[in-house]
Amino acid sequence: MAGRPKTDIQPDLTKGIPSQFVEQGDEQIIQPNNQNEQLKEKAQTVFNQKTALIETVKLPTRGLVPNIPGEITIRALQRKDKKKVLMTEVDDILLALLQHVLVEPQNFNIYNLLPFETKYLLYRLRVLTYGNQHTFKDRCPYCSNVNDVELDLNILDVKEVPDSFKTLFDIGPLPVSGTILKCKLLTEGERAEITKRAKELKDATGNDAVEMDMLWEARVVAINNDSKLAPVEITQFLDELTDYDSEWFMEYYYKYEGNYGLQTKLNYNCDECKGRVESEMPSIYTFFRPTFKINIAE
Ligand SMILES: [Zn+2]
């Protein structure tokens, strides 16, 4: 294997972030058209060599966020990874799998990433392990026909953050009260910790709103420049907001949080009425598996 020339691999990413398909110590061109066949062949070669198919993924945050690398290298999922993860208690199976397949940087904790980064990594891991095709069913809003929508996961748009991107950002002045809220994006780890603590508190107190309150208390770090507020004071302040401001604030936060990474909105023409349908890619959790048909001969 040594001595063979190295070639840069450009999958069919006309838009978004080019990723490199690399095999340890060796690389080869993959044509987009028969990529599935080639991936299968490559998987067989790799299986025979007992080394995993790997890919270096450029993160949408491009190294601009402190302590988050610009690139992360992952390897294709193997049966042993699923066995390990399914036999331990984890709060999120896909994140636990992602931690297992991390190659570089070594010992990096996946939970330090922002959710739009892990989502993008999971989608690349899906392509790396099971290929780039996925078909899902979607109902046309005009004629109710159920369409089979075919996705090429390699040509979805991925939005990188701008140079000015910050995980701490101001929202406001809010339209009615003029309040300025300093907010932060939560990492996977922060979210997971809140979910865990909220569950314990909910079980103990019966308060159903506790998780929602804790999430917003963590997301808001200062109100009108006052950063010394106790969590309960933040909840009290948000509860007292006029609902116009409250809705405006939450909408802004969710838009900012969902603005980057994999763009999941898509359009297609309905098979039946030919209408242009605007739709949304299903969650990665619904298609993290291979697509194939097995026919058992009679
Ligand atoms: Zn239709």
Residue 11 confidence (pLDDT): 37
Helix (H) or strand (E) holding 182: strand 181-184
User: CA angle 174-61-286, nearest 5°?
Assistant: 90
Token pair 């409250």: residue: 246
Report how far residue 209's alpha carbon sits from residue 251's, in angstroms, rounded to the nearest whole number. 19
In angstroms, what is the span from residue 124 Cα to ligand 1's centroid?
31
Centre of ligand 1 from the C-alpha of residue 274, in Å = 6
pLDDT at 14: 34
Residue 79: CB atoms within 10 Å: 7
Q: Residue ranges of the alpha helices (H) in the chain?
A: 35-49, 79-86, 93-100, 115-130, 188-205, 210-219, 231-240, 243-258
Q: What is the pLDDT along the chain (298 residues), one digit of tens a residue?
A: 333 333 333 333 333 333 433 333 444 444 455 666 776 776 666 556 555 689 999 999 999 999 999 999 999 999 999 999 988 888 889 999 999 999 999 999 999 999 999 999 999 999 999 988 899 999 999 999 999 999 999 888 999 999 999 999 999 999 999 999 999 999 999 999 999 999 999 999 888 899 999 999 999 999 999 999 999 999 999 999 999 999 999 999 999 999 999 998 999 999 999 999 999 999 988 888 887 778 887 7
CA of 234 to the centre of ligand 1 (A): 47
pLDDT for the residue numbered 64:
96
Contact 272, 140 (CB under 8 A): yes
Cα separation, 192 vs 65, whole angstroms: 20
CB atoms within 10 A of CB 171: 19
Q: 278 alpha carbon to ligand 1 midpoint, in Å?
A: 11
What does the block give as tokens for 251? 């909408």
Residue 50: per-residue pLDDT: 53
- Who surrounds ion ligand 1 at CB < 5 A? 140, 142-143, 145, 270, 272-273, 275
pTM listed for this prediction: 0.79
Phi-psi map region of 50: left, alpha, beta (phi>0 left; psi -120 to 50 alpha): left
Q: From the CA of 269, how far away is ligand 1's center (Å)?
A: 8
Q: Which residues contact 225 (CB under 8 A, 6 or more apart)?
A: 180, 182
Span from the CA of 219 to the centroid of ligand 1 (angstroms):
41
Which pLDDT score, from 0 to 100, does residue 18 have?
Answer: 36
Report the 10 Å Cβ neighbour count for 48. Answer: 8
What would the two tokens of residue 63 be? 């190294």
Angle at 6 between CA 77 and CA 44, to 5 degrees: 35
Alpha carbon of 292 to ligand 1 centroid (Å): 27
174 contacts 238 by C-beta, under 8 angstroms: no
Between the CA of 271 and the centroid of ligand 1 the distance, in Å, is 7
Report CA(264)–ligand 1 centroid distance (Å). Answer: 21
Q: Which pLDDT value is given to residue 28?
A: 45
